Amino acid sequence: MPDILSIADHADMIVNGYAFSKSNDSVRVLNLNNPASACVLSADGKILETTMDDIELDIVQDYYSRNRKHLEES
């Protein structure tokens, strides 16, 4: 079980319960309310790895595209 508090504290951005953390050329996303639900996005928002369903992936990609500028600024 991941340490949710530590992940949230070290996240570069949190949007509506999803922690976004930059990692080299990708972005790791964790659903803080359901830690089994995670994905890795490329810098341009394409899905590289996931344990999320399609609906949740659409939501996460939308959050990422709307807030990418804030993540890049950090």
What tens digit of pLDDT does each residue of 23-70 get? 989 999 999 999 999 999 999 999 999 999 999 999 999 999 999 998
* Sheet of 26-31, strand order: 13-15, 18-23, 26-31, 38-42, 47-50
Q: What is the pLDDT of residue 67?
A: 95
**Residue 71 banded pLDDT, cuts 50, 70, 90:** confident
Q: What is the pLDDT of residue 4?
A: 92
Q: What is the pLDDT of residue 74?
A: 66
The domain in which residue 52 lies consists of: 4-73
Amino acid at 47: I
Q: What is the pLDDT of residue 1?
A: 62
Distances 68 to 1, 4, 5, 6, 49 between C-alpha atoms, Å: 28, 22, 23, 22, 19
